[in-house]
Amino acid sequence: ADGVSEVGPGTLSTHVLNTAAGLPAAGLLVRLAQLQEPGPHWTELARRHTDADGRCQLLLAPGQAKAGTYKLHFETAEYWQGLGYTSFYPFVEVVFTITDPAQKLHVPLLISPYSYTTYRGS
């Protein structure tokens, strides 16, 4: 190409589970940002709340994904406060790299007030 990033049909989604209750984390604010090269400057691309099933579908719509570094910012303290808990982590940021813009990426997050786990889902 002529220096322009190739854009693919890939998508990005997330799913947040409250492992303390064994339930989806509904209504949790999620922000998606992309690292601008040369960094470190982040550009916000999307802002969503998880649905009743704890999911955010299509944080990157088909055709929007580009190769690069991204982060998902989860407002966990706000979520836990809403349930009457304090949280050790005020927020969780998951930084990851998209190498193939055609792939469907799913980045789940498992949370409790004192721990979190993330992995590359399918």
Read off the pTM.
0.90
pLDDT in tens, 90-102: 999 999 999 998 9
Check which CATH number belongs to the domain holding 113 and give it. 2.60.40.180
In a domain, 113, yes or no: yes
Contact 67, 98 (CB under 8 A): yes
Domain that holds residue 41: 27-118
15 is in an annotated binding site: yes
Domain count, the chain: 1
47 is in an annotated binding site: no
106 is in an annotated binding site: no
pLDDT in tens, 12-68: 999 999 999 999 999 999 999 999 987 689 999 999 999 999 999 889 888 888 999
In a domain, 18, yes or no: no
